Chains A and B, each alone.
Chain A
């Protein structure tokens, strides 16, 4: 079995138009539009072959994403895109693999798979669509809903402090942790690009607007409430906002500093942490097969002879 290779450029250039399928069935103003556009821009920029590209998703608004890419895709069940993606990675290491998961997929029903996807560090770009609410099921508290925010299941206001996806991922030993937002397209595309080049499981957190259920959550018109993390080995701040927004130098090999930014009240967009040396489970399994003493299938029962 060959190890993974980045796909060759397509013979005729791929355009955004060719990547479209139908009009997405999302609400007007939904942040998911921005996210899939960001990924499409990256696919066009890199000229990834659609036939060699697989989007895997779970359930919820974000789960619909693969349906809107004219690539291969699998819109699976709630919380389980990571195990499916691993199956694809083991079967076809040559394919470009993107996992799309909501906050419920990632940190609630699929939490166990996140732990092990991160630990297995197989080659995939993991996009966490975090709108901080269960939206498709009509406004329930999610693991990332901010405290005291009322929903249909906790009308008194969300009871608990939300889980912090960045520190969770860092704490699990992720080899790549970045954060971006649906409304900063250049930064989003650059983040996906950096994630795609990462040799392992690239955890990308994306703050995503849900104008229907929580319109006031992200103030996408101002940029005083967040900062960009910048570094030669990191992700460039968004071009349109760079001069209006705080930009901090952060070395992505500095794990302690990454935890500090991750745990802070303020939001930081950029590359928190990267370690290109973490062993990859998919490679380990493939190497096991490659290096095993080859045996003749016509003799498989010989050791049982009496």
Chain B
């Protein structure tokens, strides 16, 4: 028996949807955190609720990256897979995200009924050079699972993984009780705990390797949070008082969370009849002086576009979250992508002005609503917060966020939030198209808003000078932000052969890829943009220090068509920015692949 000590490792548990893989992942995560290890968790969720079991679409799993340092992304590839049956394994092998030396624990329980299918998948594993460790759930556990109506298999697997990752059985048991404690009867709980210990015992007898990751003592209060939950708590801390939305994956959990919590903090949650109504009510609320927000995903963003232009013209504050998923159209609702950038940038008709914030992680998610509120109330232009499926659903342990508890006056936004997004406080007078900007209820300030062009008194005007003036004033608002932007976050050395650039959730992979490149003597640095539009004025100068500027994006591009960020950067800087990675596979970026591709470019 050997215990292999590793600084970082990744494993995954693959099961049928609805059989508890996510729950098992939550419990493991709790235990790792308790032991002082760093984890990053990515759930793999099918778009359907309960696809037929033992089918490829039923794959539901959890990927856990475990490290003795703070991990910012889901990493490169998997060292160990535990699969409930051969079909979910076969499906996952398609993604080609396993280490060449990966070990596979395959439950053989279904083999008797499906010998051919098992044989085929086992052959596939042999061909790929993967070592398979077959196992069968012990008779007693099978009986308990039967008594539980087919449930509890996840606890058995949890036991096996606990043994392999050298977790303290008591700590895990405490996490199980914490997770299920209130819901389960004592007798059922005892059966689940038994399944857990049986799994642990089974691995002890059958599995001849273990991994160990060094533990650390963490300073200060730590919280465990995912992107969408962080956004919803950020909304409360930012002093927003109305959430208006329509159910859509993967944005819905923001609304779920607020529905539970918002009223206790004086906030209203409105589930609208459709995406257009959702943004309309947010516009109406902000118009009447109550800070509001709406959230959606790709298809909803398309539907909301007319209102985005209206808010621009009428100069009504508007904050819109888009949790991106794979498109076009319905695309892949539970897969990540970054291809709504251009839709946010150019989706509404006419020259509408906007600011786009991209969130990189759960910390950005918490503070983006504050910044969005500051910008939209100062400038009266729409502000987008662009997240994605990966950021929304992945969770990790972070130091408890410092609260801002914003109220009425957005100038109270703390400096550290502006710093985080690489911008200075807006200064000087900011001109509006309409010189009077009163809110309903203000005595003597009566005025009418319209989507038509107006003069500076707010009166409808089709005069050419007035129209040109309106455009200039609206765009000057964005220029205020442009000038307030400081240099974006950089990784690695200043000036290099290669600069890789990304936005939003690619930050973790960029940071790690640059570290990896440095270790391997690959001359590459990195840049990450938090505010994606407008872009800082010094960007051109920064790019000049690098021979190749390459983007990494989870969005499609090819030789003839630049990916969204590459297109934007090319147009803004005239630098020959090319996509290094423009993969719309629905899977997150992988640091090692980034390095490999840089090496190919440099050849």
Contact = CB atoms under 8 A, between A and B. Distances in A.
Interface in A42-96: 50-52, 54-56, 66-67, 69-77, 80, 82-92, 94-95
A295 interface: yes
Given A77-B451, A289-B268, A301-B400, A51 B444 contact: yes
B69 interface: no
B287 A84 contact: yes
Nearest to A78: B306
A289 B267 CA distance: 7
Contacts of B292: 87, 91
Interface string A276-306: 0000000001101100111101101100111
Contact of A88 (B272, B288, B314): B288
B277 A91 contact: no
Interface stretch (A112-120, A190-198, A266-274): A112-120
B403 A300 contact: yes
Interface in B286-326: 286-290, 292, 306-307, 310, 314
A21 B460 CA distance: 12
A243 interface: no
Contact of A92 (B233, B270, B289, B445): B289
Contact of A85 (B272, B284, B448): B284
A76 to B, nearest CB: 6
A87 B448 contact: no
A84 B264 contact: no
A293 B280 CA distance: 29
A90 to B, nearest CB: 6
A249 interface: no
Contact of B265 (A21, A50, A84, A300): A300
Nearest to B276: A80
A90 B268 contact: yes
B397 A72 contact: no
Contacts of A92: 288-290, 440-441
Considering residues B241, B281, B400, which has the most beta carbons from chain A within 10 angstroms of its beta carbon? B281
B290 A91 contact: yes
Contacts of A301: 223, 225, 233, 400-401, 403
Contacts of A289: 263, 266-268
Nearest to B459: A22
A51 B442 CA distance: 6
A290 to B, nearest CB: 9
Contacts of B285: 87-88, 90-91
B143 interface: no
Nearest to B444: A51
B294 to A, nearest CB: 10
Contacts of A70: 446
Considering residues B237, B292, B448, which has the most beta carbons from chain A within 10 angstroms of its beta carbon? B448
B446 A50 contact: yes
Contacts of A67: 448, 450, 460
Nearest to B272: A83
B78 to A, nearest CB: 25
B282 interface: yes
B277 A76 contact: no
A51 B443 contact: yes
B160 to A, nearest CB: 24
Contacts of B445: 51
Interface in B224-282: 224-225, 229, 233, 236-237, 241-242, 244, 261, 263-270, 272-274, 276-282
A174 to B, nearest CB: 16
Interface residues of B, number: 67
A297 B236 CA distance: 8
Contacts of B307: 77, 80
Contacts of B287: 74, 84, 87-88, 91
Contact of A87 (B33, B223, B281): B281
Contact of A75 (B265, B442, B452): B452
B597 interface: no
Contacts of A294: 264
A90 B290 contact: yes
B451 to A, nearest CB: 6
A83 B281 contact: yes
A14 to B, nearest CB: 11
Interface string A111-134: 011011000000000000000000
Contacts of B452: 75
B214 to A, nearest CB: 18
B399 to A, nearest CB: 11
Nearest to A65: B448
Contacts of B268: 90, 285-286, 288-289
A285 B270 contact: yes
A82 B459 CA distance: 23
Considering residues A52, A54, A87, A286, which has the most beta carbons from chain B within 10 angstroms of its beta carbon? A87
Nearest to A49: B443
Given A87-B282, A285-B270, A295-B264, A305 B450 contact: no
B4 interface: no
Contacts of B449: 73-75
Given A76-B310, A77-B451, A87-B292, A297 B284 contact: no
12 contacts: A72-B440, A72-B448, A76-B310, A87-B281, A87-B287, A88-B440, A91-B242, A91-B286, A95-B288, A288-B268, A293-B264, A306-B397
Given A74-B448, A112-B274, 15 more contacts: A54-B440, A75-B451, A76-B451, A85-B284, A87-B280, A90-B242, A91-B287, A92-B441, A95-B288, A115-B273, A288-B268, A289-B268, A292-B264, A295-B265, A305-B221
Interface of A: 1, 21-22, 50-52, 54-56, 66-67, 69-77, 80, 82-92, 94-95, 112-113, 115-116, 285-286, 288-289, 292-295, 297-298, 300-301, 304-306
